[in-house]
Structure 1
Amino acid sequence: MRIGLGARRVWWAWSAGLVVLGFIEALVLHLIGNALLPGPVAVALDVVVGAATLALLVVFVSPLWSAHTVSDEGVAHLRLGLLGSVVVRPGDVAQAGSHTPTAIKPAEPGVGFDDETGRLSLVRSPTSPLVLLTFTRPVPARMQVFRRVLATECLAGTDDPQRLLEALAES
């Protein structure tokens, strides 16, 4: 079962801005490299900068086509594209419910981890419904592409919180 991550408008705007910045950065480095470096070195610089910029853009825009999934066995894979994810197995969830952010603790878009509480946040849009899961044990999670953490809670944005909560309750 695939469940969406919520509204895309904010992430589209950020992605468009990042694409423009990445293009400008690559163009400026290309112009400077061609003006100051020998031909083969300038080409190598273009290739390295182009590949690195493209890789970062793919990672950043990946939440636009990402979705939470729950398998028939009850294993939930909550993700925010390539930026972060957590695999929730049957029996890992102690408590689950909808979450309403407060002015003191707003839902911030992106991937976040609070070291004090162990809360992993996977939020594409702060205006989308949120689900807060409290785990029975620390669950391994991934954030910022490669960083590994142990999460005791997960705050996830979703299109359909009721459907996600029902899928988790069945497991």
Structure 2
Amino acid sequence: MTNRKLFSNSQIWQMLGATVLIGKNDTDNEYLTLDDAQKINTFALQTTLGRLSMWSLNRDRQCGENSSALSMQTSCSGVKQTAGEFATLLSSSFKGSPGTLVDMGTATWSTNSRDYPQWDTATRYAKGNKVIWKGNLYEAMTDNTGERPDNTDADDGSPWRLIGPA
């Protein structure tokens, strides 16, 4: 049995995401402030977090004078801010765009599964080649021909690794 780590720490962080509830939380006296949003952005960039989102874009504005400060509002944050300020802070320096797939081999972004060929039983694949098979993106870990990508059991020394949905 081979003990092989399939993903680096950076690649694992790239497969994770976080969603924050901006402004006044649904728990009494809990807020995600603009300062907190900046700290979360810094953490996400330092760890190479793959996705950072917020709940909910329609709350990314200051509440009006007549809104209740006692309960969480669905149409505003409940904190003093300019419109869109949470989105600006949380997204600062991110390179991705909504709906993208991180390619763990090169840490580049792709939004189109047509960027990769469909796996073919007769094609010789070199280490590092990427293919689509049954709706997933795979990377060749070794040179191979005729080895199905969906046979990725690490104990079998599979020549492929699953990257994710295509």
Q: Which protein has greater RCO, CA pairs closer than 8 Å, 6+ apart? A: 1
Give the TM-score normalised by the residue count of structure 1: 0.27
Give the TM-score normalised by the residue count of structure 2: 0.28
Q: Report the structure, 1 or 2, having the larger strand content.
A: 1
Name which one, 1 or 2, has greater alpha-carbon Rg.
2
